[in-house]
Structure 1
Amino acid sequence: MNIRYRLRTTSWTAQDKPNSETKHMELRRRTFIGAMMASTMLVRAGMAQETPTKGGTLIISQADGTPRVLNPAVQSGTGTGLPGTKLFATPLRFDENWNPQPYLAEAWEVSEDGLQVTLHLRENATFHDGVPITSDDVAFSIDVIKNNHPFKTMLAPVTSVDTPDPLTAVINLEHPHPTLILAMSGPLMSIIPKHIYGDGQDLKTHPRNSEDVVGSGPFKLVEFQRDEHIILERYDGYWEDHLPHLDRIVIRILPESSGRTIAMENGELQLTAFESEPTVIQQLQKADGVTITNDGYGGIGPIDWLAMNTTRGPLQDKRVRQAIAYAIDKNFILNALLFGTAKDARTGIHPDSPFYNPDVPTYEFDLDKAAALLDEAGFPLKDGKRFELNIELPGFPGYRSRTEYVKAALAKVGIEVTVRSYPDFASWADVMGKMEFDLAWDNVYNWGDPVIGVHRTFISSNIGNGVWSNTQGYSNPKVDEILALAANENDQAKRKALYDEFQAIVAEDLPLYPVNATPLYTAYSDNVGGLPKGIWSVLDPMDGAYLKA
């Protein structure tokens, strides 16, 4: 029998289960959906305790520059996700405890065998042109995302979507897919109108991706002026009459961090997010009337690591890779270079993830251990040198000091490092994608579930498939086996155990050396309330945000 969850006032209850089956129901709750839904109180992301005021314009920044499109169904990334999650609704949303909550779907069920997920849509939900949102739109959107979105693993097991009635969508799966529930939230599964996008045009280049957008979320598009701003206005037909609180959100496109900082200090901006430069973070911490926090970025899950090409020269030996880790003083990076703005990361899974395992082999700074491992691997010190390596300076800002530090640190154990820099991101990405490197700092996002953003870095079938794939050339059949099992395991406890084992193995093999969770911060003015509290930070509808009176 299926278990169905529906919102009743402020709590979750299981429907259609006789009292005699209470024990069985509780066991089911400890599996995939149950474990994710065990909270008894609904905590709406973005809602504050004080009484929100109505109206006003919130001015925020877009740090990533002008997004290519505003439609997250065909484009990943925070640039598209920031406006896109306000314009388009998803079936679910997630709170700060990684529990799914209703959004466009007011209830959902997972079949006993895990091969069907049934969504029950709200009756009064409409697109911005007033057309009702139906199960046909959900089926259409899933097909569009599966065939056009870059995160291919996210919906890969979906075989079809049945639409028995306008408010019911049944997602059929080739095998159990625990990622699906999370993939129906945040910037990952925007529900787009079939009557607009189903006209036969190329979905990736469809003109309505950025112009005359007809969305399904709490805000509608007023104006998109490239390199300047995106103006959103409250959708009066939004299904919850009291939301959104704001009249407008103005997204100013400000790629220069200094410009954003000054604008926050003088009140031109009321919110800036995805701030990662330590000096900027420190400056904003001192600004009057500004609060700054790194809460809420667990879903995005960015990690900084030193990538090591396991297919080249001395790096083929894991003892050499371990020696490099011992030669690097992680505390120096965290405190002297990042000024204490970042938290330690010991694996490829973000520390805020429920799957993170901190109890893995670690490499405390020890030059003697590093030297001994290099000797053992057959690279003795000769005339002050063991061998040479290149290190690629990433094609994005903020990594020069860390790159130069690695060069100096490895010189102390006889590894001569040459820094190679590039004029732009594309040049760096080309070298990384072709695996024509030895070492490189890299910054990779988890995107909520390991299947989406972690597996790609470690599975052997993804070797050399481009940037943010397995560019390390890492191949371990046991890891491949564990990740395949985890991708199909609906029992959360068993899944956690699999990921624990995976992280322990990779921490010893060390195809990359995780150093820190990328410092991402949100700074906002004291007159702003009701900001998102979920795992997606400002990649949230922000229907609960308001300006204080």
Structure 2
Amino acid sequence: MTKHFKSLLAATAVSTIMAFSAQAEEPVRGGTLIHTLYDTPRHLNPAVQSGIATGAPGAQLFAAPLRYDENWTPQPYLAKSWEWSNNGLTMTLKLVEGATFHDGAPITSEDVAFSIKTVQENHPFKTMFAPVTSVDTPDPLTAVINLSQPHPALLLAMSSHLLPIIPKHVYGDGQDIKTHPQNSENVVGSGPFKLVEFNRDQNIVLERYDDFFMEGRPYLDRVVYRIIKDASARTISLENGEVHMSTFELTTRNIQRMKKNPNLTVTADGYAAVGALEWLAFNTGSEGPVSDKRVRQAIAYAIDKNFILKALYQGLATEAKTGIHPGSPFYDDSVNAYEIDLDKANALLDEAGYAKGADGTRFDLTIDYGSVAAKPQAEFIKASLSKVGIKVSVNSFVDFPTWAQKISNYNFDMTMDSVFNWGDPVIGVHRTYDSNNIKKGVIWSNTQQYSNPRVDELLNEAGKEIDPEKRKALYAEFQEIVAEDIPNYFLNTSPYHTVYNSKVGNPPLGIWASGSPYDRVYLKE
């Protein structure tokens, strides 16, 4: 037997095994997936509304030009191909043939241009399409995106729920698109599922769009989102099989409990692009002690991060050393992590001129939090800082708007916060550190009032650098400087988990979690 024939035989055997495996795992068509949402969406149009609650059903109702796999690789979706110009100033999309909206109208390049303009003008993530100057539509299936500068975040900004392709013939009727009645009722989408009903605070019912442009998909007949705001109630529903899947679960005791259920899979996979981080933010623009970076560094050295990870989060969260999520290809874990060192903390406070008084106190600070989930960390930090002479008062607020109003108007010393990266640093990271984004009254902008000219330069350069390695080097320097200046003390990733029943095939474990299209999801029984 020749070597060539042996290789051919081996390849045939492998192919046969793979074919058998694929056949054994062939998705089943039909069935209703029962999914939970922990909050009610304001509406169902992600073009003008960010957030998890809108993004989950929105990704099913609307298709995007691209989708991403679990390795951060862009894949065709409504666009079958895309091509950069040599100078990086134009992107040409070729759309799939035969794609239609849920009312039967064809999806054309005019709809792509209209969608980009709508997102550019109305979505809170302004940086996603800020460099777009125009979109040419030379024919119904070609869209040419023109840029004022190279924009490396463009591909990711055209994925999942960041760029839903919405119908111009519906939303271009002159009404205010943010309050358009068809954001919530009679939604005309472009995705694998169409809206049946939206019962606020109860459920959202979607059904298969039979003329979806991907033949044979979606596999499911229906997706029903049950809005269950209580975490314990969601856990019980998952355990008794009333619902098949829940995403963005973060209550540690419930996660640990569900891990013991043989009918459930509990995983942290799928949240890399969402990039949720938790940190202690400092008002660097205040006239108080935290305006001094030595004080901020001292505070970091006084906190035992491992206690937060192991005791408070029971090992379900991952350490985060920078403002870029550990799941991002741009994350640099070589920066100073500020391991607990009370001697260093005390020395830095002495150096900053804050000697201990007769009662052992150096100065007073407040720490705010707007989510009950942040209370344990806030109380632990209060106890930790007392060991180095900092007296902390903890302020809590009954609702998010009250907290957001105070923080965005710079009426704080320190606050617990959770902020999303949203895939590319241009979209979700720059906003926190660019001094041009110090915008009073706007939450989740640069509410720390942090300003460093070199950081501004690095972010500007990285925001238009197409070469991945050069871009990574720019973000590495950025992370090193921010670790030194410490406008935020980075704690951990938010412990988001997806929980799904053993009946669920192809759960959303890519980079966008439930913001991914569910055309491939199926029920095994």
Partner of 2:32: 57
Contact 2:500 2:507 in 1 (8 A): no
Match of 2:495 in 1: 519
Alpha-carbon distance between aligned partners in 1 of 2:308 and 2:363, rounded to the nearest angstrom? 24
Give the drift of 1:462. 1.3
Change (3 A) 1:535 1:48: farther
What CA deviation, in whole Å up to 9, does each residue of 1:111-150 have, x standing for no partner? 0111100000001111111111000000111111111111
1:233-252 correspondence to structure 2 within 5 Å: 233-252=207-226
1:350 pairs with one of 298, 302, 325: 325
Q: Distance in 1 between matches of 2:64 and 2:143?
A: 13
Equivalent runs, 1:318-397 vs 2, <5 Å: 318-383=293-358, 384-392=360-368, 394-397=369-372
Q: Compared with structure 1, are the counterparts of its residues 205 and 49 closer, same or farther at alpha carbon in structure 2 (3 Å cutoff)?
A: farther
Offset of residue 287 of structure 1:
2.2
Q: What SS does the aligned partner of 2:372 have? A: coil
Task: Give the letter aligned to residue 501 of structure 1.
Answer: E
Residue deviations 1:493-517 (CA, integer Å, cap 9, x gap): 1000000000000001000001101
Matches of 2:371 and 2:398 in 1, distance apart? 10
C-alpha change, 1:48 and 1:115, in structure 2 (3 Å) is farther
Superposed, 1:138-537 pairs within 5 Å as 138-312=112-286, 313-383=288-358, 384-392=360-368, 394-465=369-440, 466-537=442-513
Shift of 1:281: 1.1
- 1:338-390 deviation digits (Å, cap 9, x = unpaired): 11110000000000000101011121111111111111111111221101101
CA offsets 1:243-285 (integer angstroms, 9 cap, x no match): 1100000000111101100100111110010001111211211
Change (3 A) 1:416 1:483: same
2:50 to 76, 93, 109: 76
What letter is aligned with 1:158? V
Q: For residues 398-427 of structure 1, give each alpha carbon's deviation from its aligned partner in whole angstroms, at most 9, with x where no partner exists.
A: 111111001100000000001111121111
By how many angstroms is 1:288 displaced? Answer: 3.3
Residues 326 and 364 in structure 1, CA contact (< 8 A), matched pair in contact too: yes
Number of aligned residue pairs: 501
Aligned to 1:538, the other structure's residue is in SS state helix
> Structure 2: which amino acid aligns with 1:413?
V
Structure 2 residue matching 1:85: 3-state secondary structure? helix
Q: Deviations over 1:44-89 (max 9, x none)?
A: xxx99811111000000011x1101101011000110010000000
Deviation at 1:233, TM superposition (A): 0.2
CA distance in structure 2 between the partners assigned to 1:373 and 1:337 by the alignment: 28
- For the residues of structure 1 that align with 2:342 and 2:133, how far apart are their CA atoms? 53
TM norm structure 1: 0.90
- Residue correspondence of structure 1 range 15-164 to structure 2 within 5 A: 50-63=25-38, 65-164=39-138
Matched-pair contact (CA < 8 Å) for 1:265–1:288: no
SS at match of 1:399: helix
| Aligned mates of 2:520, 2:399 — CA distance in 1 | 39
Q: Distance in 2 between matches of 1:240 and 1:48?
A: 20
The answer (yes or no) to whether the contact 1:48–1:530 under 8 Å persists in 2 is: no
8 Å Cα contact 1:48/1:529 also seen in 2 = no
For residue 17 of structure 1, what is the aligned residue in structure 2?
none
Taking the aligned partners of 1:400 and 1:519, their CA distance within structure 2 comes to 15
TM-score of the superposition, structure 2-length normalised? 0.94
Q: Which amino acid aligns with 2:354?
A: F
RMSD of aligned C-alpha atoms?
A: 1.1
